Amino acid sequence: MRMKRSLALIMVVVLCAAVLPASAFAVNAELSEPVSLNEEAISEEQKNANTEETLVNEKEINPENTQDAEAPDSQTEDNNTLDLPEFTMPETKANEEITSQQDKAVKVAAQTGEESMTAEGFKYREIEGGLELCAYTGTAEDVVIPDTIDGKAVVAIGDMAFWINDSIKSVVIGENIQRIGEEAFYSCNLLSQITFSNSVREIGKQAFYHCQALSKVRLPDNIIEISESAFASCIVLSQINIPGTITKINDRVFNGCNELIKIEIPASIKAIGEFAIPQRTKIYGTSGSAAEVYATKNYNTFINANSHHSGDFYYEDYQYYGENGSENGVKILAYEGSDTELKLSTLDGKKILCIGASAFKGNKTLQSLTIGNEVKIIEPYVFSLCENLKAVNLSEGLESISAEAFCNTGIEVIEIPNSVKILYSGVFSNCHLLKKITTGTGITEIPYEFASGCSTLENIVFKGNITKIEEKAFKDCLKLRKIDISESVIEIGRDAFVQGTTIVHGKAGSYVEQYTKENGIVFVGENTQKLGDFYYEAVEGGVRITGYTGNASKLTLPEKLGNQPAVEIGVSVFANNSNLESVIVGGSIKTIGDYAFTNNNNLKDVTISGNVKTIGDYAFANNNSLKSVTVGGSVEIIGNNAFKNCGSLMDIHLNEGLQKIESGAFYQTGLTSLSLPDSLAEMGISAFEGCKKLTFAHVGSGLKAIPNRGFWDCGELEKFEFSENSALENIGDLSFSHCVSLQEIKFPVSLKSIGSRAFGNCQKLKNVVIPAVQSIWRDQRPYGDSFNECYGVIFFGTRGTDAEAFAKEKNIPFVTSETSRDGAYYYEDVAGGVRIVMAEDPGQKDIPAALGGKTVVEIGQGAFANDADLETISGNNLRTIGDVAFGHCEKIKRIKLGDQLETIGRQAFIHCENLMEAKVPNSTKAMGIGAFTYCESMTSVTLGTGLETIEAETFSWTGLKTATLPISIKNIERYAFSNTLEDLIIPEGVQSVTLKKDAFGDDGSRINYMPNLKSLRTVYLPDGVTTIEDKAFGERPSIYLTIHGNTGSAAETFAQKNNITFSTEIWQQGDVNKDGSINASDALMDLQHAVKELTLTGSDFIRGDVNKDNIVNASDGLQILRYSVKEINHFD
């Protein structure tokens, strides 16, 4: 195999020598030295035309994987040759000639600030005082930052140098490093060990942000600055020191470091920023210091460095003032032990009078606790997050329990002593094992979120005369089925109880009854009756079901209760019932009350009898498992949000007789199809908004208006139809906005008006049959035109109508019965030929060259949008391609545009997802915004010399990896390139080029909320690029980006200002060995790459790929040879 490959190369060189003059092999003086290709040197023998076998790489080449190499021959090596493709001489055009400046040798000078690379993968540059490491391209797990490189001190680690490195596990910081830059080790998820040198003085913003394996850090003694969020979100960080040389802890330095249980803060610290230290962290410091101020403000445990220490306890002397005078004792500041059982009574022979804030917070070993009668006060958060604390005994003598003192513990039963007079907010919140609470006689008010989130709480006993229950006191206590509240209660806050689940027992006519009725809580008074699991009360015509205590999964509501017909289901009766799976509403029921079955997460099937007339507000809302609803024929009204957020509800049959669907009734349900009966006369705002699975909808004859946002954001809705005798008069604002799959709609003749942005952003909407409406919204207020951002829409209507006027104003194609037609194509005459207005599913793979005997010179707006058959576009006579002309034509693979084409419209080829390549001719002067956006398969584009501007999003979200812009280019607009682009070339000879803000950025919603083109590696910006706007490469340019340009250029200024790697190495296509000349030596390197003798990557690959097909092979080598002997004067 080695012999075959060597023979192939020898034969190529012999062929070159035979057909080319000796001048083609003129070698620059620099060729006497090895040529660098990606840090791999090519030996002198490899450049020699008389290649010997010793030059061949020792590795064998697999013929199946060799592109454009010799064909394998299993019988003999003598017959192996390198097959060169046949070429025809490309036509030479003056405006495509390579400028004389490109023919000149390019000088590469090493300048201060230019980057270099070490063998270990450290990219560095010279700065004041030494060297800065800019990036690391190695893959080592254990990295040692060098003290010096080439005798120069390495003094800094640059911003983002190791950003999101997935291999590094440990790092040793060099002895000369003074600064670690911003985001230097950002999100290095495996980094677990850092060894700092004492030379480090500053750690930049987010330098070690989100290093998830970092558990212990020892900061150097001489450090003076730890910047904002330096160690934020290091989720396992449990130990770090703060040297006395630091004077400030900046904002969020340790934010999110939830395993950091304690931290010692020296007296040198004068200020601590916002959210600098997690709330659960115990802060050790001196009295009156910034540390104490921060701890007090943020409810951290503060331990005075001068406080007493006894065993596992820190404490201080404490004096308590009560009704019976003062007492002396101690206050526990912190506990650092691991006991499972504790009794808190005395410490060092002194009474424990107070347990300080957060003293036991987060303790993971404590299981049982007795608080002696000496203790008077329990401060905030004392035992919070003690998840294993299950048994607590509170003694008489205790007077107050502060906020969240026992929240998030494992307490199962708690009895509050009578001596306790005050409870603060959230005392027992989120105790997920708590089953019973008994309050003492001293309690008169139940505080805010008292037991909120106690999902297992079943019983609450009030011993005293409670007067007030604050907001959310028992919120989300789903197992609290019964609570007795006396008439002494005169105030209850919002969301104090769970709707449906909690049944409040009280006195009829009391404030408690009034509250329950106003807030949808089930109330049982002395007039309420019970039969089995049902509470009920008398109403006109029968009884109303007011409560349910059963646990059935399948429930049929009774026809009668107490020999009276059950005619109503009361408010919230079955709300939040997690047992119910199936419900049959009995034949006697006429009204289903508000919230009756809301938040039943396991409810799957509902059958509503033929007598129900009203389904109340939120009656079945938020039932995520509800799949089937059968509605009886008598239902007249479906209330506000009745089935809101029933995401699994795919089908519902609405019978004739239904008169009104109120606002949000089916908001964000899972409906797939919908048929509204002729009887329906009124529909509320957002009735079907957000039904993302809805594909088909039919509207009966009785509805007069589609309300505002009626079908807003029904993303899968493809077809919407009206009854032939429809009475529809108005389509409201935003009614179909963001229905991105809607392709056509035929309005009834009764339609009079279409509201603001009614069809806004209906990207696939093409055919709109529109009658003689009186008003189509034009103003940008409040939301925009009725058809705002419907770039491919075509109107079918009548001359002289407002529809025609609107179409003319907005440049929308307007088709009438008078429009010319040839087969499946509508067209109209224009200068020099015809414009295709619309292609009505022609089933063709290419566009027609002529219609009605006339040449097709224009493709109108949206003419072929969503065509399912088009594969190729060829049109030598085309002058104009309109907006969205070929949008969403998913089978198009190639476009061949003739040299008559002048304009390509906005989003002309949007979402042509299989389009692989495009050649824009020199005649084209303009391409609209987003012309090729979302052409995800596009890997090759050739841009003609007529273009001056690359508009916004032109190549956003394509598959392009390399792009060369024409010499005519003047402007590159925002988001012009994004997603995959790696290398961009702006050629020498351009003049006054401007790169706009975010030209190589993104809108921030698509790339991790960081607007930048992360894939970009190499950009060539000659002196003709004179203006580079701020953030032209996004908020955070890629750490791998290198900008190439000349010293003193706008490119250099921008790179230095934004800490982007800059190089004075200038690109010249065809100069593969970068010696400043284009000759046979360059061609030989292309051929060597083709047979795997060497590998060209990055900028070297770009130089070699002269025909810009993203492949370097013999075709490129032959073009270089032709150019070197002036057989051609440009590369094509």
Q: Which residues contact 497 (CB under 8 A, 6 or more apart)?
A: 473, 474, 475, 477, 480, 483, 504, 521
917: number of Cβ within 10 Å: 17
DSSP-assigned states of every residue in 1022-1079: -TTEEEE-TTTT-SS--TT-EEE--TTSHHHHHHHHTT-EEE-PPP-TT-TT-SS--S
- Predicted confidence at residue 412, as pLDDT, reads 98
Query: To which residue do tokens 């013999």 refer?
Result: 1114
Model pTM score = 0.69
Q: What is the pLDDT of residues 986-1006, one digit of tens each?
A: 988 899 999 999 998 764 444
Tokens linked to 831: 């200068």
Q: What is the pLDDT of residues 134-159, one digit of tens each?
A: 999 899 999 999 999 999 999 999 99
Main-chain dihedrals φ then ψ at residue 848, nearest 5 degrees: -75, 150
673: number of Cβ within 10 Å: 14
- Reference 904, options 868, 870, 946; nearest CA is 946
- Predicted confidence at residue 114, as pLDDT, reads 62
- Predicted confidence at residue 73, as pLDDT, reads 38
- Predicted confidence at residue 136, as pLDDT, reads 92
Confidence of residue 982 (pLDDT cuts 50, 70, 90): confident
Could you give all domains of the chain from N- to C-terminal order, each with its CATH number?
2-106+1075-1124 (no CATH), 121-273 (3.80.10.10), 308-501 (3.80.10.10), 671-680+689-702+709-818 (3.80.10.10)
Report the DSSP beta bridge partners of residue 630.
Answer: 607, 653
What are the residue ranges of helices labelled H in 169-257?
none
- Predicted confidence at residue 1017, as pLDDT, reads 85
Q: What is the pLDDT of residues 438-480, one digit of tens each?
A: 999 999 999 999 999 999 999 999 998 999 999 999 999 999 9
The distance between the two most distant Cα atoms of the chain, rounded to a whole number of Å, is 117
Q: Amino acid letter at 996?
A: K
Q: Which residues contact 993 (CB under 8 A, 6 or more apart)?
A: 969, 970, 971, 972, 986, 1024, 1025, 1026, 1027
Q: For the sheet containing 436-439, what is the strand order?
A: 341-344, 368-371, 391-394, 413-415, 436-439, 459-462
**Region 1077-1101: what's the mean pLDDT?**
87
* DSSP character at residue 820: E
**Region 224-229: what's the mean pLDDT?**
97
Q: Which burial class, exposed, middle or buried, applies to 888 when counting CB atoms under 10 A from its CB (0-12, 13-18, 19+)?
A: buried
**Region 345-350: what's the mean pLDDT?**
96
Please state, in angstroms and rounded to a whole number, the distance separating the CA atoms of residues 755 and 489: 52
Q: Which of 9-18, 771-780, 793-802, 944-953 has the weakest average pLDDT?
A: 9-18
What kind and span of H or E run contains 309? strand 308-310
- Predicted confidence at residue 91, as pLDDT, reads 35
**Region 1098-1119: what's the mean pLDDT?**
82
**Region 1049-1074: what's the mean pLDDT?**
86
Residue 961 pLDDT > 80: yes
Q: What is the pLDDT of residues 520-552, one digit of tens each?
A: 898 999 889 999 999 999 999 999 999 999 999
26 or 385: whose pLDDT is higher? 385
Helix (H, G, I), strand (E, B) or coil at 396: strand
- Predicted confidence at residue 184, as pLDDT, reads 96
- Predicted confidence at residue 944, as pLDDT, reads 92
Strands, DSSP E only, in 336-426? 341-344, 346-347, 350-355, 368-371, 377-378, 391-394, 400-401, 413-415, 422-423
Output the average pLDDT for the chain.
Answer: 87
C-alpha pair distances (Å), 303 with each of 241, 261, 858 = 16, 13, 80
CB 706 within 8 A of CB 681: no
**Region 1058-1062: what's the mean pLDDT?**
86
What kind and span of H or E run contains 310? strand 308-310
Residue 615 pLDDT > 50: yes
Residue 276 pLDDT > 50: yes
DSSP-assigned states of every residue in 626-679: --EEE--TT--EE-TTTTTT-TT--EEE--TT--EE-TTTTTT---SEEE--TT
Q: Which burial class, exposed, middle or buried, applies to 870 when counting CB atoms under 10 A from its CB (0-12, 13-18, 19+)?
A: buried
Residue 1079 pLDDT > 60: yes
**Region 1061-1070: what's the mean pLDDT?**
79
Residue 976 pLDDT > 60: yes
Tokens linked to 427: 């005392």
Residue 89 pLDDT > 80: no
Q: Which of 3-17, 323-337, 734-748, 881-895 has the weakest average pLDDT?
A: 3-17
Q: What is the pLDDT of residues 857-892, one digit of tens each?
A: 999 999 998 888 999 898 889 999 999 999 999 899
581 or 324: whose pLDDT is higher? 581
306 or 888: whose pLDDT is higher? 888
Q: Amino acid letter at 865?
A: A
Convert 946-997 into a string of H (helix), E (strand) and C (coil).
CCCEECCCCECCCCCCEEECCCCCCEECCCCECCCCCEEECCCCCCCEEECC
Q: Is the peptide bond before 21 cis (omega within 30 degrees of 0)?
A: no
Residue 55 pLDDT > 60: no
Q: What is the pLDDT of residues 364-422, one digit of tens each?
A: 999 999 999 999 999 999 999 999 999 999 999 999 999 999 999 999 999 999 999 99
Residue 486 pLDDT > 90: yes
- Predicted confidence at residue 40, as pLDDT, reads 35
Residue 345 pLDDT > 60: yes
**Region 914-943: what's the mean pLDDT?**
93
Please state, in angstroms and rounded to a whole number, the distance separating the CA atoms of residues 273 and 251: 4
- Reference 1098, options 20, 203, 7, 39; nearest CA is 39
Residue 1010 pLDDT > 50: no
* DSSP character at residue 89: P
Helix (H, G, I), strand (E, B) or coil at 350: strand
- Predicted confidence at residue 1126, as pLDDT, reads 84
Confidence of residue 2 (pLDDT cuts 50, 70, 90): very low
- Predicted confidence at residue 363, as pLDDT, reads 92
Q: What is the pLDDT of residues 841-850, one digit of tens each?
A: 778 899 999 9
The rounded percent of the chain whose pLDDT value lies above 90 is: 67
- Predicted confidence at residue 19, as pLDDT, reads 46
- Predicted confidence at residue 1013, as pLDDT, reads 57
- Reference 1103, options 23, 78, 36; nearest CA is 36
Q: Which residues contact 224 (CB under 8 A, 6 or more apart)?
A: 201, 202, 245, 246, 247
- Predicted confidence at residue 877, as pLDDT, reads 94
Q: What is the pLDDT of residues 713-726, one digit of tens each?
A: 999 999 999 999 99
Helix (H, G, I), strand (E, B) or coil at 53: helix
Residue 595 pLDDT > 50: yes
Tokens linked to 829: 């005459």
Helix (H, G, I), strand (E, B) or coil at 101: helix
Produce one character per residue of 441-468: b if its CB has 16 or more CB atoms within 10 Å, e if not: ebbbbbbbbbbbbbeebeebebebebee
Query: To which residue do tokens 């006991």 refer?
Result: 339
- Predicted confidence at residue 782, as pLDDT, reads 74
| Count of alpha carbons within 13 angstroms of residue 643, beta-carbon side | 33
